[in-house]
Every structure is written in structure tokens, then in C-alpha cells.
Structure 1
């Protein structure tokens, strides 16, 4: 598979008033390939948000290299590389610049010099992709949280990116809004082969990824499939990560004497196990 993004021994320290800076990211290396969904998880202060800033060139590493689309990210090529990325942040209100939904989606296209005729088509297509085609002339502040985040995703998709980076993009949404946004990104990835990097503290969301990268105290603690990562349940709990609901319920039921076959990462898996092993006899 083609390499989309990589970090090679990346270290970054924020300036410190006492002259003794602590590495927010400490000697981190990993590679993301085309068509992958990667979830980067960690507690507050683990370094995951600093990683996001390094990926999009808001910060540059003190040591090591960040490469995107096989090019080392530099101040000289930053804007060209960013034009091939879609970026969705935590608070959609901070991303809105247009007076209407279509104006907002068109903003990045105008900045990239897209001709007007093509811009109109891209705005309509990207809003249709996120089921917001009927909201072209709506004012963004009248939308729900989930709708706002969908518009933010549409703005990213209008650029026809090869890579979508979501930095805590669902953390401010209610459960319904969160599920809507995640479902849309899943469908887009399946339909277009979009590569997705999701920075999140929500391990339920991380279950959807192809691979998970776990950050702790600025270092890469572990990387693997969801099954491999969640098999380390006690270790994740010890660094302040909240385990998926189904895993916590399974653990409690084991304490009450119920025997299960392996771990249950989703509620569906847990319900099926309970039904087939304990209640259907």
C-alpha cells in the first residue's frame, strides 16, 4: 500500500518558563498507508493533539521528520500539501467563516483558486455527500452540533483530499450527532478510499479503526488492531483511558461468576454471547 503519512523519530517540546521543557511528543515513529483508518488515542496531555498539529504543519518538530504524501513537510511545501488534506477540528463553530452553509464550504475552494463553475459543483456534491444538500442557504449558527460538524466535513471533502484528519471532531457532540458523523465518514471511506486519521479520547470510536495508536506521556505506548489493543484492558485503564462499555460490563459479569469466550468490544458481541451461552439453554 502507498504511504500517506509518516513520522520518523519525531520529538517536540513547547517553550517552558523555567527553562526545563518536557517533550510533548517524544521520539515517535509510525506510518499510515492509503485507505487506512487510524485512531490515535490517549488521555489529556498524552501528546495526541500535538501530533495532530505536527501532521498539518501548525508545528514543526524539534527533531525528526514528518512526511506527507512521501514529501518531508516543510514551510516551503506546507500549503501545497495542506491542499490535499481535509482537516476537521473539535469545535465546528471555530471553523465557520461564511454567512451561509454554501459560502462556508466554498471558502477553502476560493482560497485554492478553484474556478467558480467547478466550485459550485463541488459545494453541492460535498454537501450532498454528508446529507446537507437541503441546507445551502441556512446560517451555520442555526444548525445542530451534528449538522455543523457535517458542514465542516463537507468543507474538507470539497477539496477532494487524499487524507482526512479529525482532531477530537466528535467530542462536543451528543450521542446522536456523534453517530451521524462517524457513519458518514465510514461511508465516505468505503466509497472513495479516503484515508482517515482520527485523534480521539473515545475508545468506542477507536473500535472502528483498522489500527489504533496509543499515546502516553508523549510516547507511543502501543500500536495494533483494535483486538490487539483492547486485549491490554488493564494497562489502558491504568493510563486513564475509559474502556468500551461492553468490556466494562463483561469484566463486572466475570466478577459475578459468568464465564465468557474472550473479550467483548461491542454491545452486540456481548449480547450475542449472553444469549447463546447463558440464556438460550
Structure 2
């Protein structure tokens, strides 16, 4: 698979009051390939936010290299490489600059010199992809939280990015808003092969990922599929991470002597096995 992003021995430290330094990211290496959904998780202070800033060039590593689209990320090529990224942050209100939804989605295209006719097409296509075509002339600040994030995603998609980065993009939303945004991204990845990196606490989002990167104290603790990572349940709980509800319930049932075929990441999987293996006989 084509390499989209790679980090090789990346480290970064913050300067604290008094002149001391604190290493926020410590010798981190991993590679993201085209079409993958990668979820980056970890407790507060694990290095996730710093990692996000490094990946989009808001910070540059003290040690190691970051390669975007097979080019080393530098001050010289930052803006060219960043133009091939779509970025959605935690609070959509901080990203809105247009007076209407379509103006807001068009803003980054204007900045990139996209011709007007092409810009109109891209705006309409991007809003259609996130099911927000009926809100073209609405003021963004009058939308619900989930709708705002869908508009923010449309703004990123209008740039036709090779990589979409979601930095805690669902953390401020209610359950319905989170479900809306996660479903939009999942549909886009399935239909277009979009490469996605999500920095998140949301387990529903994590379970959709192809691979999970677990951060702890600035280092990579483990990388693997959701099944591989959550199989290390006790270790994850020890560093302050939660486990999927279905996994916790199946673990408790095992303690009471109930046998299961493998691990269950979702409630649907757990209910199906309980019904077919234990209650339908």
C-alpha cells in the first residue's frame, strides 16, 4: 500500500516554568498507508495532542523525521504539503469564518486559488457528502453540534485531501452528534477510500479503525487492530483507558463460567452470541 504518513524516531519537549523541559513525545515511530483508518488513543497527557500538532506542522520535532506523502516535512514545504490535508479540530465554532455554510466551506478554496466554477462544484459536492446540502444559506452558528462538525468536515473534504485528520472532533458533541459525525466519516472512507487519522477518546470511533495506536507517557505502548489492542484489557485499564462495554460485560460473564467464542467489541456481537450459543437451545 502507498505510504501516506510516517514518523521515524520523533521526539518533542515543552519548556516548563523554571527552565526545565518535559518530553511530550518520546521516540515515536509508525507508518500510515493509503485507505487506512488509524485511531490514536491515550489518557490525558499521553502525547496525543502534541502528536497531532507535529503531524500537521504546527510543531516540528527536536529529533526524528516526519514524512508526508513521501516528503520530509519542513518549514519550506509545510504549506504545500498541508494543502493536501483535511483537518477537523475539537471545537467547530473555532473554525467558522463564513457568514453562511456555503461561504464557510468555500473559504479554504478561495485561499488556495480554486477557480469560481470549480469552487461551486466542490462546495456542493462536499456538502452532499455529509448530507448538509439543505443548509447552504444557513448561518453556521445556528446549527446543532453534529451539524457544525459535518460542515467542518465538508470544508476539509472540499480541498480533496489525501488524508483527513480528526483531532478530538467528536469530544464536544452529544451522543447523537457523535454518531452522526462518525457515520459520515465511516461512509466516506468506505465509498472513497479516504485515509483517516482520528485522535480520540470515543470508543465507537476507535472500533471503526483498521489499527489503533495507544500512547502512554509520550511513547507508543502498542499498535494493532481493535481486537489485538483490546485483548490487552488489563494493561489498558492500568494506564487509565476504558474498554468497550461489550468487552467488559463478556469478561464478567466469563468470570461466572460462561464460555464465549472469541472477543466481542460491540453489543450486537455479544447479544448475537448470547442468543445463539446460550439462550436459543
Give the TM interval when normalised to the shorter protein. Answer: over 0.9
Are 1:16 and 2:16 counterparts? yes
Query: Does residue 209 of structure 2 align to residue 214 of structure 1?
Result: no
Q: Could you say which residue in structure 1 is the equivalent of 2:236?
A: 236
| Structure 2 partner of 1:70 | 70
Which residue number corresponds to residue 183 of structure 1? 183
Work out the CA distance in 1 between the residues paired with 2:167 and 2:79: 19
1:117-196 mapped onto 2 (5 Å cutoff): 117-196=117-196
**Distance in 2 between residues matched to 1:34 and 1:153, nearest whole Å:** 19
Distance in 1 (CA, whole Å) between partners of 2:145 and 2:63 is 38
Q: Which residue does the alignment assign to 1:266?
A: 266
Question: Cα offset for 1:172?
Answer: 1.0
Counterpart-to-counterpart distance in 1, 2:22 and 2:188:
39
Deviation per CA, 1:192-225: give whole Å up to 9, x if none: 1110001111233111111110000000000011
Q: Who is 2:99 aligned against? A: 99
Name the SS for the 1:13 alignment partner.
strand
Cα RMSD for the two superposed structures: 0.9
Name the CA distance, whole Å, in 1 between partners of 2:110 and 2:138.
Answer: 20
* Partners of 2:259 and 2:118 in 1: CA distance: 59
- Paired with 1:229 and 1:260, the residues of 2 have a C-alpha distance of 18
TM-score (norm 2): 0.98
Q: CA deviation at 1:175?
A: 1.4
Q: Does 1:255 align with 2:250?
A: no
Aligned-partner Cα distance in 2 for 1:203–1:20:
35
- Counterpart contact for 1:88–1:165, Cα < 8 Å: yes
Deviation, structure 1 residue 258: 2.2
Shift of 1:43: 0.7
C-alpha separation in 2, matches of 1:202 and 1:121: 33
Name 1:112's counterpart in structure 2. 112
Question: Within 2, Cα distance between the matches of 1:223 and 1:63?
Answer: 21
Paired with 1:260 and 1:21, the residues of 2 have a C-alpha distance of: 48
Q: Secondary structure at the match of 1:11?
A: strand
* Cα offsets for 1:169-193 (capped at 9, x unmatched): 1111111111111111111111111
Shift of 1:262: 2.3
Aligned match of 2:27: 27
| In structure 2, distance between residues paired with 1:206 and 1:4 | 20
SS of residue in 1 equivalent to 2:15: coil
Aligned ranges 1:47-86 → 2 under 5 Å: 47-86=47-86
Q: How far apart are the structure 2 equivalents of 1:237 and 1:274?
A: 25
Aligned partners of 1:41 and 1:203 also within 8 Å: no
**Aligned equivalents of 1:265, 1:189: Cα separation in 2:** 20
Shift of 1:15: 1.3
Q: Distance in 2 between matches of 1:42 and 1:279?
A: 37
SS in structure 2 of the partner of residue 14 of structure 1: strand
* Matches of 1:129 and 1:216, distance apart in 2: 35
